[in-house]
Amino acid sequence: MLAVLLVGAPRSLYIGLIAATIGMLIGIVLGFTAGFMGGWVDAVIRTISDSVVVIPALAVLIVIGAYVKTINIESMALLLALFAWPAPTRFIRAQVLSMRERGYVNMARISGASSFDIMFKEMMPNMLPYLAASYTGNVSGAILAATSLEVLGLGPTRIPTLGMTIFYAIRAAAILRGMWWWWGIPIAALVVVFSGLFLMTTGLDEIANPRLRGRKKAAAA
């Protein structure tokens, strides 16, 4: 089990990082474009993202995973990334809409800066805490989705991960046989990973949101 944790835990985290990174990059491009450009561009991107959000991602991934013969870490991460971009897109779009009329953005327009420079050189640095908090949340969601697929036996069969360890434990009736360490230790590792990511998201959210900092100071007083 120690060997499984040393090999499987980093790979489970790796899947989440790849999927969240791809989804976040797509969300940044689409969110900034929709929020800053507005008009029909905003309408098209918003409609597409809203349509993808309502699709039951896990059910679709189960169907796709059942038809894919060989699944490795990279292919699973790409499958998860298909549904990892709508939430960041909507979040970033809302932030850009609230920031595009601020003084420093208007000054950049007056000075002749291009739309690309305004979005990614002026506005994006002010959103880094928000983006970091959204990214850690996406990593947690991607790991949870990957674990759900792996527990159903749709993960990388030749590569040890935490989810596949739980799947093999269930298939071998480890619960009925009293072999708690086979399934309990991977679950405990997942709880630690999710707790750490949740604490990171909460801390970054407090940095980005002045209201949360004010409430925390008021509660301490």
Angstrom distances, CA of residue 27 to CA of 17, 65, 82, 91, 172: 15, 24, 11, 9, 41
Q: What is the mean pLDDT of residues 62-76?
A: 78
What pTM was computed for the model? 0.82
User: At what angle are helices 73-81 and 128-151 packed, to 10 degrees?
Assistant: 120
pLDDT at 149 over 80: yes
Tell me the percentage of the chain whose pLDDT exceeds 70.
93
Q: What is the mean pLDDT of residues 133-143?
A: 88
Angstrom distances, CA of residue 152 to CA of 52, 85, 183, 188: 23, 24, 14, 19
pLDDT at 22 over 90: yes
pLDDT of 215: 55
Q: What is the mean pLDDT of residues 41-70?
A: 81
Sorted by where each begins, the domain ranges of the chain are 2-210
Distance CA 192, CA 20 (A): 19
pLDDT at 214 over 80: no
**Nearest Cα residue to 191 out of 12, 2, 6, 57:** 12
Q: What is the mean pLDDT of residues 6-11?
A: 87
When pLDDT is cut at 50, 70 and 90, the band that residue 26 belongs to is: very high
DSSP string of 28-93, one letter each residue: HHHHHHHHHH-HHHHHHHHHHHHHHHTS-HHHHHHHHHHH-S---HHHHHHHHHTTSSHHHHHHHH
When pLDDT is cut at 50, 70 and 90, the band that residue 131 belongs to is: confident
Tell me the percentage of the chain whose pLDDT exceeds 90.
10
Distance CA 11, CA 20 (A): 14
| Average pLDDT taken over every residue of the chain | 83
When pLDDT is cut at 50, 70 and 90, the band that residue 21 belongs to is: very high
pLDDT of 25: 92
Q: Are 83 and 117 in contact (CB under 8 A)?
A: no
pLDDT of 210: 62
pLDDT at 19 over 70: yes
Q: Which CATH superfamily is domain 2-210 in?
A: MetI-like (1.10.3720.10)
